[in-house]
Amino acid sequence: MLLFLSRRVLIALPTILLISVFVFALQKLLPGDPLLVLAGEERDPAVLELLREKYRLNDPLVVQYFTWVTNALTGDLGISLRTNQPVTELMLQKLPVTLQLAAMSMIFALVIGVPAGILSAYKKGTVTDYIANIVALSGLSIPNFWLGIMLILLVSVKWQLLPASGYVPLSEDFGQSIRTMLMPSFVLGTALAATMMRHTRSAMLGVLSADYVRTARAKGLTERRVVLKHAFRNALTPIVTLTALLFGELVAGAVLTEQIFTIPGFGKMVVDAVFNRDYAVVQGIVLVTAVGFIFMNLVADALYFILNPRLRGQ
């Protein structure tokens, strides 16, 4: 297990290195000069030169890259050009928000998508299958912003059941925090549930026709046990993969949904940073989400290991 995981980590390292080079290079290639934003109205060459000196923009590119990487490794991702706050601090403020949103959305996606997928595979070709497919496809086809606005209109404005927007930290008021996140995570979750359902369905279809499922039936087990214990466990691999990938995507930010529900998460921060040419922030976010993605894949790998006894012997 340790050997397997350490091998995966070793494979991940060059990927992270490549990402860091890519992120750094992309910044330099983008049009527009952050100093012009910083210097504001004054376009005095002396001031610009001073700023260049301050942010060490006169160093050769390679030196700039290594300075950035070494700083990043010590947790220093630079200072936001706009707010003058350290980027790390800014991100640490947003991270819990985004993680909570991502986790709750994922729960919605799993709770809706997986049972629907199992059911539609089990009842393949029946009315149940068609209904599940239609519901899942509508979840995928309805744009998040529209569903979000409709939910706010109905649930918050008309019935006044849930808060329309904002964010309350979990540590402050647990119940209220969950309540505020309920609608946005539902909006994100339903869209992912469709993908989840389709993947679960196809994985289950493959497994349900397997010989060992027939063996399980022949043993005289109940259908429930055959489907959940024998079939579903063998169909888990693609579901785990998908969960890891979708979770990575969720952490990278759900720009529109965060905007609609005015949630101070990563998505909103990225958009703001891009528009303000706040390079340090953009770089930091891209780097952290990329590393997060790789981490989620490692988690998925570890899960395969637990789920699949055939891997353990190797």
Question: Binding residues for another protein, per CB under 8 A?
Answer: 210-212, 214-222, 230, 233-234, 307-310, 313
CB half-sphere exposure, 93, CA atoms < 13 A? 11
Least distance CB 300 / another protein (angstroms):
17
Least distance CB 248 / another protein (angstroms):
26
C-alpha 152, offset from chain centre: 23
Strand-pairing partners, residue 79, are 86
Q: 131 or 168: whose CB is closer to another protein? A: 131
DSSP characters for 16-81? HHHHHHHHHHHHHHSSS-HHHHHHTT---HHHHHHHHHHTTTTS-HHHHHHHHHHHHHTT---B-T
Q: 14 or 125: whose CB is closer to another protein? A: 125
Least distance CB 213 / another protein (angstroms):
8
Residue 91 corresponds to which tokens in the numbers above? 């991100």
Q: 121 or 263: whose CB is closer to another protein? A: 121
**Is the dihedral angle over the CA atoms 118, 121, 124, 130 positive or is it negative?**
positive
Q: 67 or 308: whose CB is closer to another protein? A: 308
C-alpha 253, offset from chain centre: 6
Amino acid at 17: L
Using CA atoms of 162, 163, 167, 169 in order, give the dihedral in degrees to the nearest 10: -50
* Phi and psi, residue 187, nearest 5°: -60, -50
CB 209: neighbour CB atoms within 10 A? 10
CB 102: neighbour CB atoms within 10 A? 24
Least distance CB 194 / another protein (angstroms):
23
Q: Is 25 helix (H, G, I), strand (E, B) or coil?
A: helix
Q: 132 or 193: whose CB is closer to another protein? A: 132
Q: 75 or 313: whose CB is closer to another protein? A: 313
Q: 216 or 246: whose CB is closer to another protein? A: 216
Least distance CB 240 / another protein (angstroms):
13
Least distance CB 233 / another protein (angstroms):
5
CB half-sphere exposure, 302, CA atoms < 13 A? 11
Least distance CB 278 / another protein (angstroms):
49
